[in-house]
Each structure stands twice: as structure tokens, then as C-alpha cells.
């Protein structure tokens, strides 16, 4: 036998493992790639489900939020909530580039007018790599459930600071525009920078009436505009669910809109709201107890028109002063003033001819315990370069204290808002309104 066919050689050839790993890899590679593809597709399907779950939660919440304030008619609530759930889910998914094979919403209304919406959905994930094992499509589905907090009848009370300091520009740009318009220095309070009052010997002198809107907006303008907009939104709610009351405040409170469910008329009145002429200082110590005594209700659970849930919205820069403007003998307001005899000084304060101090959260104890109090601090806009001692005092001593005391006044941390520009004021008031009218929660 030739040497290369010897028995030892054949034995070694049979026992050799050279190339075995490569052979096994060739055999197993398709299997490994298939399982890797399956893992990628499953991950993609789970991501798709997570995105759709988030959209379903939002749609279910929108449905019950809408239905809770819509009507006292349970059939109308059911129909509307189901429509909102499906439409919101479909539109949101379309914007996100996601599709459905089915969407279904079922709504029920309990005897206490609590609306429950169950939104179920089903979709298909297009399989890319794992088709051999899973087919062309992978089914994904989910469900969201939410409940309203029952039918909400609301007393909405707005308290708007109408003193001279709310007549200044809503932003630094607005302040600069007012100063340029009247050609005064930035530190001159007659230029509607520190305060803008409804005064003036002629129509050309600075006043809220000549300054507002030309060419800038005051903080009072922005608050009024934002309130008018949310009242317009509230008009869409049926069943006289919202009753509106509006007070303005300077040294004394003024009832501008008596409690009413006629929101169309209230909106027209609100759009013409003006700052105070007489007084035009700020005295919350004397004003808030008087307002509390005139509230339309003491606050209830919101289950009927006679048991309305009470919301108080307070809008102010939080700066108090003891100026009380008075007319001359001809009845014209030219800037003459006395000191407010009902003003109570507290520390810290700054006194020259007048006393300037910050809001005290204890003032809000005048309101009933059942009241839900929301606060919006419209930060005093301080010029970047100023030598006015009042500005410096507000910036260095009062700003932080005012925010803390406005937070003390609010009945919930989520009801505390601060704004430093016209845009921020508008956004804050919109959010306040949404919190009042939402009344919904996810239950599953």
C-alpha cells in the first residue's frame, strides 16, 4: 500500500477538525440572521405600540375632558366623547405617520355624570426581516380608559389688578416703545414705565388711554385679551356650566361683571374693561375681604347649578402702594393724590413720597376654604439700566418675596403661575382655563 494511504494517515484524517467552525457557521448563519431579524421586527413593533398607546391615552383624556363640560344630556355626552376619541386618535396617528386597521371607542355615563371612555385600537407592523417566521404583518393592539370627574358646574371668579403698575408695558420692548412714544426718560414714571395712570391734562400726556396699544401693549391689555379669549372658548360649553364674575382692583375693588352664565354678553363687557381712574394704587389688604364678601357662592362639588365648584383666578404683579389719586376741583384727574388711609404697611417696604411693598399671601385667607385659588404673577418689568430706587427695591427685595406669597395664596402647587412677558401671560391664562375645564384622569 502506498505510504499516503497508510492506516495511521487515514486515522488522522478521520479525526481532523480543521474547517469545522466554518462549516457550522455556513449552516447556522441563516438561522442566526433570521432570529436577529425577528428581534429587530419585534423591537420595532413594540416601539410602534408604545407610540400608539401614548396617542390613545391622550385621545381618551381629550374625549372625557370634552364630554365632562359639554352637556347635562348623557346621550349627547356619549356621542360626543366617542366621536372626539376616535377623531383625535386618527388625526394624531396620521400626523405621526402611523396607521390603523381599526379604532373603537365606547363611552358610558354614570348616575353622578361621570363619563368613562374606553378606546381600543388595532394596527399592523410591516415585517421587514422575520417574514419567514412571522409573515408580512405583525398585529399590535392596545386599550386606554379614562374618566371625567363628573359633571362640573363652575363659578369662575377673575380678579384683575387694574392699578397703575399694570398699565406699563407687558415686556421690556413694550416699555421702551412707551418711553419713546412720550419722549420721556426710562426712569421717569410719567413715561408709563414705572406706572401708567389714567391721568393727563391733555390727551397728549401719558395715560393708560393714550399709551395702551400705541404702539405697545400693557400687562392689563394682555390679561384682558387672554381672559376674553377663554370666555369665548367657554361659550362653546353647553348647559350653563360656567358662571363668570369679574372684579378689578386698585385701592378698592370694583365689580365689573356680575355673576352671569350669559358668556356672550360677558365677553363683550370684558373686551371693553378699563383700568381704574380713581385711586389707581394697590391695596389687596382692604380689597380681597370685600371681594370675598361678594362671591357668588361659597364653593361646592360642582354637581348642580346650585352647588358650583368655585375657582378664583388672581392676576397681579404683586406690588402694592398707598397712592390714592384724586380729581381736582373741576373733577379732572391730573396726578394729584393722597395716601390711602386703609393701606397697611408691612415689611419689607420702600417709602419716599409713597410706600411700595409686596403682596402678602395671608390676604387670601379671606376666601372660603372650599375655594380653588389660582394665581398669576405678572413680573414687574425692570429696565436693564435704571437708577430709580423703586425699581431697584422691587428687583432686589420684592420679586422673590412676591412669588413666594402668591404661591402661598394658591390652594395647589399646580395653580401657581408666573409670567414675564405678554406671551407668557397668555399661555398661563390658557393653562389655568384648561385645568378648570379638564377634570379628567386616566384610569387604565
- In angstroms, the CA 282 to CA 320 distance is 5
Q: Which CATH class is domain 154-439?
A: alpha beta
Q: What percent of the chain has pLDDT over 70?
A: 74
Compute the mean pLDDT over every residue in the chain, rounded to the nearest whole number: 80
What pLDDT shows up at residue 185? 42
* Range 188-208 average pLDDT: 49
276-334 pLDDT, tens digit per residue, is 876 678 999 999 999 999 999 888 888 788 989 999 999 999 999 888 777 666 666 65
Q: Where are the domains of the chain?
A: 30-148, 154-439
Range with the largest mean pLDDT of 62-71, 178-187, 424-433:
424-433
pLDDT over threshold 50, residue 188: no
Segment 39-45 long-range contacts (CB within 8 Å, at least 24 positions apart): 40/128, 40/129, 40/130, 41/125, 41/127, 41/128, 41/129, 41/130, 41/134, 41/138, 42/130, 42/138, 44/125, 44/128, 45/125, 45/138, 45/140
| Of 336 and 276, the one with more pLDDT | 276
- Residue 86 neighbours by CB under 8 Å, 6+ apart: 59, 103, 104, 105, 119
pLDDT class of 442 with cuts at 50, 70, 90? low
pTM value surpassing 0.85: no
352-374 pLDDT, tens digit per residue, is 878 889 999 999 999 999 999 99
Q: Distances in Å between the alpha carbon of 81 and those of 65, 123, 192, 350, 403?
A: 8, 22, 49, 55, 39
pLDDT class of 189 with cuts at 50, 70, 90? very low
Amino acid at each position: 500500500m502506498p505510504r499516503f494511504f497508510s492506516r495511521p494517515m487515514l486515522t488522522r484524517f478521520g479525526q481532523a477538525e480543521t474547517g469545522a467552525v466554518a462549516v457550522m457557521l455556513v449552516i447556522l448563519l441563516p438561522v442566526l440572521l433570521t432570529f436577529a431579524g425577528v428581534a429587530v421586527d419585534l423591537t420595532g413593533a413594540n416601539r410602534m405600540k408604545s407610540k400608539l398607546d401614548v396617542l390613545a391615552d391622550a385621545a381618551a383624556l381629550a374625549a372625557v375632558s370634552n364630554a365632562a363640560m359639554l352637556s347635562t344630556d348623557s346621550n349627547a355626552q356619549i356621542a360626543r366623547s366617542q366621536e372626539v376619541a376616535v377623531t383625535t386618535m386618527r388625526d394624531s396617528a396620521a400626523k405621526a405617520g402611523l396607521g390603523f386597521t381599526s379604532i373603537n371607542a365606547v363611552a358610558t355615563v354614570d348616575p353622578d355624570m361621570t363619563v368613562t371612555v374606553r378606546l381600543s385600537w388595532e394596527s399592523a407592523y410591516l415585517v421587514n426581516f422575520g417574514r419567514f417566521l412571522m409573515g408580512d404583518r405583525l398585529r399590535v393592539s392596545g386599550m386606554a380608559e379614562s374618566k371625567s370627574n363628573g359633571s362640573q358646574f363652575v363659578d369662575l371668579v377673575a380678579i384683575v389688578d387694574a392699578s397703575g403698575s399694570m398699565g406699563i408695558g407687558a415686556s421690556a420692548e413694550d416699555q421702551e416703545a412707551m418711553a419713546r412714544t412720550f419722549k420721556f426718560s426710562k426712569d421717569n414714571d410719567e413715561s408709563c414705565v414705572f406706572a401708567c395712570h389714567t391721568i393727563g391734562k391733555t390727551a397728549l400726556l401719558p395715560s393708560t388711554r393714550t399709551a395702551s396699544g400705541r404702539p405697545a401693549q400693557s400687562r392689563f391689555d394682555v390679561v384682558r385679551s387672554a381672559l376674553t379669549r377663554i370666555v369665548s372658548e367657554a361659550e362653546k360649553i353647553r348647559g350653563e356650566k360656567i358662571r363668570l364674575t369679574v372684579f378689578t382692583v386698585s385701592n378698592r375693588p370694583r365689580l365689573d361683571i356680575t355673576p352671569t352664565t350669559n358668556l356672550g354678553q360677558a365677553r363683550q363687557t370684558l373686551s371693553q374693561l378699563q383700568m381704574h381712574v380713581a385711586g389707581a394704587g394697590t391695596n389687596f389688604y382692604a380689597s380681597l375681604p370685600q371681594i370675598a364678601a361678594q362671591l357668588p357662592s361659597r364653593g361646592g362639588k360642582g354637581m348642580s347649578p346650585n352647588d358650583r365648584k368655585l375657582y378664583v383666578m388672581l392676576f397681579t404683579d404683586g406690588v402694592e402702594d398707598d397712592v390714592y389719586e384724586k380729581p381736582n376741583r373741576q373733577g379732572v384727574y391730573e396726578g394729584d393724590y393722597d395716601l390711602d388711609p386703609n393701606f397697611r404697611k408691612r415689611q419689607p417696604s420702600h417709602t419716599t413720597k409713597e410706600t411700595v411693598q409686596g403682596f402678602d399671601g395671608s390676604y387670601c385667607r379671606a376666601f372660603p376654604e372650599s375655594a380653588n385659588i389660582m394665581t398669576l404673577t405678572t413680573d414687574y418689568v425692570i429696565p436693564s439700566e435704571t437708577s430709580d430706587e423703586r425699581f431697584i427695591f422691587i428687583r432686589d427685595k420684592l420679586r422673590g418675596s412676591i412669588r413666594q406669597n402668591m404661591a402661598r395664596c394658591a390652594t395647589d402647587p399646580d395653580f401657581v403661575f408666573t409670567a414675564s412677558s405678554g406671551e407668557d401671560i397668555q399661555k398661563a391664562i390658557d393653562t389655568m382655563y384648561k385645568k378648570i375645564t379638564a377634570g379628567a384622569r386616566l384610569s387604565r
